[in-house]
Chains A and B, each alone.
Chain A
Amino acid sequence: MDLQTLTYIVVGFTFALYIGIAFWARAGSTGEFYAAGRGVHPVANGMATAADWMSAASFISMAGLIAFNGYGASVFLMGWTGGYVLLALLLAPYLRKFGKFTVPEFIGDRYYSRTARIVAVICLILASVTYVIGQMKGIGVAFSRFLETDYDTGLFIGMGIVFIYAVMGGMKGITYTQIAQYCVLIFAYTVPAVFVSLNITGNPIPQLGIGSTMADGSGTFMLDKLDQVVTELGFKEYTTQVMGSKLNMFVYTLSLMIGTAGLPHVIIRFFTVPKVKDARSSAGWALVFIAILYTTAPAVGSMARLNLMNTIQVGEVGTVEGNIEIANVPQWMLNWEKTGLLQWEDKNGDGRIQYYNDKNAEFAAKAEAWGWKGNEMTKVDRDIMVLANPEIAKLPNWVIALVVAGGLAAALSTAAGLLLAIASSISHDLLKGVFMPDISEKNELMAGRIAMAGAIGLAGYFGLHPPDFAAGTVAIAFGLAASSIFPVLMMGIFYKKMNRAGAIWGMISGIGVTMLYVFQHKGIMFVPGTSFLGDMGPNWFLGISPNAFGAVGALVNFAVAAMVSKVTAPPPEHIQHLVEDIRVPKGAGAASDH
């Protein structure tokens, strides 16, 4: 059976499964729409959280970034897992004890202020919409490859499917569907990793394969071999290349960690467990399921890079036969060429492809002596690496089909969870909580669904010109969440004296600083050409990239909130009692709505 048919069958089967589950568990009430009725076991909840969490950025994009950034991409690995420690230790149990449905609801009650709640909603929507833009990039890549069309068409079709899928389900449907999606995506991620690791190192466990020797009998370690292959072509050494600077990596990691603990669609998960105890263990279970993918990713990234280099540089560097002939490029390169995400150009007209780092001045002399006229792989989109990986490694067709299905599962599950968070903040927090307290349950659900549709349209529009690769775009979303939501949640629990004015000004200044920094380098709302400072190293404050700036925003948030709260009236007595109450698990009843 040919690859295309097989892909249709596998993807079609998994979609039928998700839609079937969504239909079977569809939401009947607002409670079920937002929080699955709180009857979800910690292990099931952990698995659903993992699927919710691991988006196109984790599945499709991250290993690609690892492949090209080597050690520097560790920021994603540490940043997107370490946040769970903060979540489990600092937020989850207390928010569960508090017992409401949404994050702005907590902020509104804790800071006795409708203004605080509205500011929180706005921050949350900004972060979530940016996050969905990142997903749209991933969905566009996956669909364009799957349907063999260009990226834009893939994106539009993907938007349609997300719309049908998310609008129908609600949280209850989403929770059960996400469990199925987790199984699909983790299987799809690990199976090719095992094959590739076995091929290259002879060790079937990717986590060990990365530290093993090559299977070619040379006795060289895989990573040493990779370092050698890339440096021979003028690229930076894989295991030591940093992302920007070490300071940038530090701040980037911190930003992703804090952002993890401030993202509404993840926090909302911990409202859905029966007990405070379960909120603690749910975070642990979620991390177990996430860690399976995250500890595999370094092997996937490094081995994909090695395979890619060896595909193009088939023989010794510098010899004529060392480079692949254009007439002989493998089928996967032709497949990806159709999407426009992989491009090459025979600059020196020798009928072969030279793939090297033409920005490396020291290497330029050698390249010129060999008659090379610049890097001929003119576009290698990082986001295609995971999807192309099984094809590059010549794995069987069913594995390739499975990976496409896994990528779609990852992107869809997260998009659905995020859209739900956006919908609930608009319908529940803004309409019902602030502007239209008398709205009927039916109309509230309707408003939520309209909000979802609007968010999909908006994110799709920006997805046509994403500000970065999927993982980079998602990192910006984390920065926004880190700089606004996390500090006020944490201070709300750990600092009894934090008051209304402090929280409001903290959120505004934190997200304000972060957005200003991101927009000045990436364009206002990421529209190309509207940035007033180019997005490049020398323009960055202390060399900190816009993607990493959320940690600085969070510091500003903490500092401003602390100062403002010192000079304004302390919170009223009953609020201080409320804080004391959420600090102990005892008496956590079933959550109530209002």
Chain B
Amino acid sequence: MNKTAEQYWKANIRLVSILLVIWFACSFLFGIILVEPLNTIKIGGVGLGFWFAQNGSIYTFLVLIYVYTKRMNALDVEFDVHED
């Protein structure tokens, strides 16, 4: 693997790792592990933990994929590995 390809891959792994940490936090951590303490905080009539488990995590997933797509497309251009 040449130099730029290697750096490109490293940048990719860094981005993916950060996004997966958030992925884990919004679902497993907030929605399951910390659900009871978070449920003491209410938004409207819904406990925050319950909300993350049933709605909030899904919204977060959407943002994660959006950020990934944007960032990766930018990285492709930066390292000149884009298509065409």
Contacts and interface: CB of A to CB of B under 8 A. Distances in A.
Contact of B59 (A93, A250, A295, A583): A295
B71 to A, nearest CB: 10
Contacts of A82: 23, 27, 57, 61
A41 interface: no
Interface string B44-84: 11110011011101110110111011001100100011110
The range of chain B's interface size is 35 or more
Q: Identify whether the interface residues of B are mostly helix, strand, loop, or mixed.
A: helix
Nearest to B23: A85
Interface in A88-107: 88-90, 93
Given A291-B59, A580-B1, A586 B43 contact: no
Contacts of B35: 71, 246
Given A71-B50, A246-B33, A288 B62 contact: yes
B45 A213 contact: yes
A211 interface: yes
Interface in A569-586: 580, 583-586
Q: Identify whether the interface residues of A are mostly helix, strand, loop, or mixed.
A: helix
B20 A586 contact: no
Interface residues of A, number: 51
A327 to B, nearest CB: 37
B83 A588 contact: yes
Given A88-B68, A284-B69, A211 B83 contact: no
Choose among A74, A207, A224, A580 the residue with the greatest number of B CB atoms under 10 Å from its CB.
A74
Contact of B73 (A81, A86, A277): A277
Nearest to B1: A580
A89 B5 contact: no
B65 A284 contact: yes
A130 interface: no
Contacts of A295: 55, 58-59
A92 to B, nearest CB: 10
Nearest to A254: B28
Contacts of A224: 45
A287 B65 contact: yes
Contact of B61 (A287, A298, A580): A287
Contacts of B76: 277, 585-586
A176 interface: no
A281 interface: yes
B83 A246 contact: no
B65 to A, nearest CB: 4
Choose among B12, B39, B64, B69 the residue with the greatest number of A CB atoms under 10 Å from its CB.
B69
Nearest to A42: B69
B61 A253 contact: no
A294 B27 CA distance: 14
Contacts of B19: 85, 89
A580 B58 CA distance: 33
Interface in A65-123: 66, 71, 74, 77-78, 81-82, 84-86, 88-90, 93
Contact of A85 (B46, B50, B64, B83): B64
Interface string B10-26: 00100010011001000
A222 B45 CA distance: 7
Contacts of A580: 1, 5
B5 A583 contact: yes
B52 to A, nearest CB: 9
B32 A211 contact: no
A207 B83 CA distance: 40
Given A88-B65, A583-B9, A74 B53 contact: yes
A211 B54 contact: no
B57 A78 contact: yes
B61 A221 contact: no
Given A78-B27, A585-B76, A585-B82, A211 B58 contact: no
A78 B55 CA distance: 8
A66 B43 CA distance: 20
Given A239-B47, A275-B83, A584-B5, A74 B31 contact: yes
Given A210-B55, A586-B76, 5 more contacts: A86-B23, A224-B45, A246-B35, A254-B28, A585-B81
- Nearest 8 A/B pairs, CB to CB: A221-B45, A211-B44, A74-B53, A284-B65, A298-B54, A584-B81, A211-B46, A586-B81
19 contacts: A74-B31, A77-B57, A78-B58, A82-B23, A82-B27, A89-B20, A89-B65, A210-B55, A211-B45, A211-B46, A223-B45, A280-B65, A280-B68, A280-B73, A287-B65, A295-B55, A295-B59, A583-B8, A584-B8
Interface of A: 66, 71, 74, 77-78, 81-82, 84-86, 88-90, 93, 207-208, 210-213, 221-224, 239-240, 246, 249-250, 253-254, 275-277, 280-281, 283-284, 287-288, 291, 294-295, 298, 580, 583-588
